[in-house]
């Protein structure tokens, strides 16, 4: 109705602003449309309908075959166990690090470490960790044969252990930085300094006070990122192939195996497995929610008990959290260092700590070939991130101007692309993209990446956006600025740093996309990640090293810009640098 009224006498500026109220809807459509269409494209073959492979009816045969697979109980248990353990450990570590160190100088150093850690692609971090902890890995090489007496590596099951411990460790090293980043954004809204001072004045220890006064407020803000971590850990494929068990593997890995089985009738079973994977993630989220309720109850009792926290216990917790966090960071960094050495390595055997010889041959061979994929990666990531920023800002500004503040109820929808396992919708996603002709080119890949980039950009930006003190806007309006000028001249410049961080996160997400790029790009769009995965199939650690470094560099550059650019732009404006 409002539309009809406004069209009768449209002042030019009002007509221009008409896009804004639709922005949140458009944003949701861009994210949800492909996911829902993709899900239906997986559900159909799971129920036996896939005419291309001669499946016309509706049957439960695929599920029967799935449930007849003898590895199913263990694969399901493994997926749940790995997801819960990785999420709980990551969250615990992040909370303790914040509780023990927020506001200190050490915490500043931790913050600076975040961006490089976030830039390392999951698979590269997993390869790095594998080379560190294997019985023939770097750690064993450093100790052998001197300390261990091993002239050849022992036959120990460290990697790919049936319980998934090394997989959990690998996931924790990557999820801690992500959750920490999300927590930092949320902390600005919770304003922990004041509450903590009050708690400490009342005699609470630092950690206890933080856990009692701040964590309950904070958790509400980071709940959705925690869910995303849980869903991701339960359905991750690339890391699980490198570090996870394989007799049987996790359910997601098994689904991918079935999907690539030469026996095409297995595609139906794969689709049924993907549907089960989705159910498993939903079950996992439900269980986690129950745990939240239980922890909250216990927590309330603990808070009401008034325990102030013992000094020695507090110290142990602080130091323990810092050490474990440091270890997780070290694992990623040392793993990357290992890849650097491999990329220059000649022959390098156990138990040599370093290669027999260093050579530039790998870089000479692969360096020049990086140019094409690097350009493609940067163009796609740039475009997807730009679009994501535009949609996010438009949605947020629409919420601000038109009071369309997205209710928390709608907000979880933004997480759908992060929560629905990729294996559950990418098959259908591919068919959809072919059927609509949005397929096989750079533009199509940009749109596919947008589905995954947008939630992360929205996540990273929405909290700082809302935390912005609206009184600044009131002052600007009082000085005669219209809403557009307030946005462009006041709000965006003040939020430059969070904007750039959100862009960097989105960029890194785009750089890391493998399956969406392959499926929607028809194999014709070669990015660093698609090249890296194909070349990694050959198992040459030198090539894997070259590409891992190139991927890391591509993802790291925007993070570095996010730090450097505000400093350079605001070198004469001290008050803006904190933003």
Partner 1 sequence: MIRSMMTALAALALAAPLAAQEVVPDPGDWDAITAAAQGQTVYWHAWGGGNAINDYIAWAGAQVAERYGVTVEHVKLKDTADAVSRVIAEKSAGKDAGGAVDLIWINGENFAAMKEQGLLFGPWAEDLPNWHFVDVEGKAAVTSDFTVPTEGLEAPWGMAQIIFYHDTARLSEPPRSIPALLDWARANPGRFAYPQPPNFLGSTFLKQAVMELAPDPAVLSAPVNEESYAAATAPLWDYLDALTPHLWRGGAAYPQSGPRLIQLMNDGEIDLALSFNPNEPSNAIANFELPDTVRSYVLDGGTIGNASFVAIPYNANAKEGALVLANFLMSPEAQARKSDPAVWGNGTVLALDKLGEEDRARFEAIARGIATLSPEALGDSLPEPHPSWMVRLEQDWTARYGVGQ
Chain mean position to CA 241: 18
DSSP assignment of 290-320: HHHHHHHHHHHHHHHHT----HHHHHHHHHH
Rounded-to-integer distance, Cα 559 and Cα 116, Å: 8
Residue 112: exposure state from Cβ atoms within 10 A (0-12, 13-18, ≥19): exposed
198 vs 264, beta carbon nearer partner 1: 264
User: Per rule CB under 8 A, is residue 359 in the interface with partner 1?
Assistant: yes
- Is 18 or 524 the residue whose CB approaches partner 1 more closely? 524
Torsion over CA: 545, 546, 548, 553 (sign) = positive
Q: Residue 23 interacts with partner 1 (CB under 8 A)? A: no
Residues 163-182 that bind partner 1 (CB under 8 A): none
Please choose, from the candidates 231, 194, 195, 236, the residue with its C-alpha nearest in 3D space to the C-alpha of residue 212.
195
Does residue 524 touch partner 1 according to CB under 8 A?
Answer: yes
Instruction: Tell the residue number behind the tokens 């958790």, with chain if given.
Output: 219
- 482-488: long-range pairs with CB below 8 Å, 24+: 483/401, 487/397
The two tokens of residue 425 are 């919708």
Nearest CB to partner 1, comparing residues 162 and 313: 162
Q: Which of 174, 255, 531, 558 binds partner 1 (CB under 8 A)?
A: 531
What b/e string do you get for 270-286 counting C-beta neighbours within 10 Å, with b at 16 or more? bbbbbbbbbebbeebbe
Q: Are 111 and 201 in contact (CB under 8 A)?
A: no
Neighbours of 193 (CB within 10 A): 12
Nearest CA to 18 out of 495, 401, 279 is that of: 401
**Burial, 352: exposed, middle or buried (Cβ in 10 Å; 0-12, 13-18, 19+)?**
exposed
Residue among 32 and 259 whose Cβ is closer to partner 1: 259
Least distance (Å) from partner 1 to the CB of residue 272? 17
Decide: is 376 part of the binding site for partner 1 (CB under 8 A). Answer: no
Task: Give the nearest distance from C-beta 251 to partner 1 in angstroms.
Answer: 12
Binding to partner 1 (CB under 8 A) within 287-346 occurs at 345-346
Residue 136 or 195: the one with the smaller Cβ distance to partner 1 is 136
Closer to partner 1 at the Cβ: 451 or 487? 451
Nearest CB to partner 1, comparing residues 431 and 462: 431
Shortest distance, position 62 Cβ to partner 1, whole Å? 15
Q: Could you tell me if 258 and 271 are in contact, meaning their C-beta atoms sit under 8 angstroms apart?
A: no
Q: By CB under 8 A, is residue 347 in contact with partner 1?
A: yes
Under the binding rule (CB under 8 A), the answer on residue 534 touching partner 1 is yes
**Which residues ranging from 225 to 284 are in contact with partner 1 (CB under 8 A)?**
241, 245-248, 257, 259-264, 267
Q: Which helix (H) or strand (E) holds 392?
A: helix 371-402
User: What are 345's strand-pairing partners?
Assistant: 358
Q: Are 429 and 516 in contact (CB under 8 A)?
A: yes
358 DSSP β-pair partners = 345
- For residue 332, the minimal CB distance to partner 1 (Å) is 21
Least Å from the CB of residue 521 to partner 1: 9
User: Which residue stretch of 6-14, 17-25, 159-167, 189-197 sits at the interface with partner 1 (rule: CB under 8 A)?
Assistant: 159-167
Instruction: Pick the closer one to partner 1 by CB: 120 or 427.
Output: 427
Please, which residue, 306 or 346, has the CB nearer to partner 1?
A: 346
Among 10, 13, 14, 53, binds partner 1 (CB under 8 A): 53
For the window 387-426, what string marks contact with partner 1 as x by the rule CB under 8 A? ----------------------------------------
Kindly tell me which of 283 and 434 has the beta carbon lying closer to partner 1: 434
Residue 547 within binding range of partner 1, rule CB under 8 A: no
Tell which one of 9, 155, 403, 578 touches partner 1 (CB under 8 A): 155
Nearest CA to 86 out of 181, 164, 183, 184 is that of 164
Number of chain positions touching partner 1 (CB under 8 A): 69
Told to check if 364 binds partner 1 by CB under 8 A, we report no
Token pair listed for 245: 């068990």
3-state secondary structure (DSSP) of residue 357: coil
Window contacting partner 1 (CB under 8 A); options: 152-160, 211-219, 499-507, 550-558? 152-160
Nearest approach, Cβ of residue 156 and partner 1 (Å) = 8
64 binds partner 1 (CB under 8 A): no
Residue 383 touches partner 1, criterion: CB under 8 A: no
Buried b (16+ CB within 10 A) or exposed e, 131-150: bbbbbbbbebbeebeeeeeb
Helix (H, G, I), strand (E, B) or coil at 144: coil
Are 230 and 87 in contact by the 8 Å Cβ rule? The answer is yes
Q: Is 118 in the site for partner 1 (CB under 8 A)?
A: no
Could you tell me the smallest distance in angstroms from the CB atom of residue 204 to partner 1?
48
Q: How many helices (H) and strands (E) does the chain have?
A: 29, 0
- Figure out which of the listed residues 95, 275, 378, 518 binds partner 1, where binding follows CB under 8 A: 518
What is the contact mask toward partner 1 in residues 421 to 450, using x (rule: CB under 8 A)? ------x--xxx-xx---xx----------
Alpha carbons 99 and 321: distance in angstroms, whole number: 9
Q: Which is nearer to partner 1, 351 or 579 (CB)?
A: 351
Binding stretches for partner 1 (CB under 8 A): 50-54, 69-71, 74, 134-136, 152-153, 155, 157, 159-162, 241, 245-248, 257, 259-264, 267, 345-351, 359, 365, 427, 430-432, 434-435, 439-440, 518-519, 522-524, 526, 530-531, 533-543
């Amino acid at each position: 109705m409002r539309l009809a009224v406004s069209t009768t006498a449209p002042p030019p500026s009002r007509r221009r602003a008409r896009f804004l109220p639709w922005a949140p809807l458009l944003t949701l459509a861009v994210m949800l449309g492909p996911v829902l269409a993709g899900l239906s494209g997986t559900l159909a073959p799971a129920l036996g309908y896939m005419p291309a492979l001669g499946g016309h009816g509706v049957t439960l045969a695929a599920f029967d075959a799935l449930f007849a697979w003898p590895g199913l109980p263990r694969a399901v248990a493994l997926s749940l166990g790995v997801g819960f353990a990785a999420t709980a450990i990551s969250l615990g570590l992040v909370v303790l690090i914040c509780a023990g160190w927020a506001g200190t100088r050490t915490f500043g150093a931790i913050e600076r470490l975040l961006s490089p850690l976030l830039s390392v692609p999951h698979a590269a971090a997993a390869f790095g960790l594998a080379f560190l902890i294997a019985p023939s890995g770097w750690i064993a090489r450093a100790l052998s044969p001197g300390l261990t007496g091993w002239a050849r590596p022992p036959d120990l099951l460290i990697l790919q252990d049936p319980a998934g411990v090394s997989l959990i460790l690998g996931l924790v090293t990557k999820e801690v930085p992500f959750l920490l980043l999300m927590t930092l954004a949320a902390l600005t809204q919770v304003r922990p300094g004041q509450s903590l001072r009050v708690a400490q004045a009342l005699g609470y220890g630092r950690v206890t006070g933080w856990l009692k006064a701040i964590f309950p407020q904070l958790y509400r803000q980071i709940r959705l990122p925690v869910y995303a971590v849980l869903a991701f850990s339960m359905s991750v494929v690339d890391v699980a192939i490198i570090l996870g068990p394989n007799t049987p593997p996790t359910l997601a890995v098994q689904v991918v195996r079935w999907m690539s089985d030469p026996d095409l009738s297995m595609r139906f079973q794969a689709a049924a497995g993907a549907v089960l994977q989705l159910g498993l993630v939903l079950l996992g989220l439900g269980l986690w929610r129950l745990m939240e309720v239980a922890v909250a109850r216990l927590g309330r009792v603990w808070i009401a008990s008034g325990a102030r926290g013992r000094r020695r216990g507090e110290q142990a917790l602080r130091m323990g959290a810092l050490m474990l966090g440091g270890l997780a960071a070290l694992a990623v960094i040392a793993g990357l260092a290992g890849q650097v050495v491999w990329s220059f390595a000649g022959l390098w055997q156990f138990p040599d700590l370093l290669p027999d010889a260093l050579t530039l041959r790998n870089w000479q061979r692969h360096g020049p070939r990086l140019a094409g994929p690097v350009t493609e990666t940067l163009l796609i990531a740039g475009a997807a991130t730009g679009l994501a920023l535009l949609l996010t800002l438009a949605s947020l500004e629409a919420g601000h101007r038109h009071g369309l503040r997205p209710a928390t109820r709608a907000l979880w929808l933004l997480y759908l692309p992060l929560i629905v396992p990729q294996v559950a919708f990418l098959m259908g996603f591919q068919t959809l993209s072919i059927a609509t002709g949005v397929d096989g080119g750079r533009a199509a890949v940009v749109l596919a990446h947008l589905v995954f980039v947008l939630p992360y950009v929205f996540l990273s930006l929405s909290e700082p956006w809302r935390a912005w003190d609206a009184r600044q806007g009131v002052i600007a309006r009082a000085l005669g600025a219209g809403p557009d000028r307030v946005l462009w001249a006041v709000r965006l410049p003040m939020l430059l740093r969070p904007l750039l961080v959100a862009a960097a996160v989105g960029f890194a997400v785009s750089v890391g996309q493998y399956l969406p790029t392959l499926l929607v790009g028809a194999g014709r769009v070669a990015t660093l990640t698609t090249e890296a995965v194909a070349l990694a199939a050959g198992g040459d650690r030198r090539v894997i090293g070259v590409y891992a470094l190139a991927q890391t560099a591509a993802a790291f550059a925007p993070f570095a810009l996010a730090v450097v650019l505000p400093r350079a732009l605001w070198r004469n404006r001290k008050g803006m640098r904190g933003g």
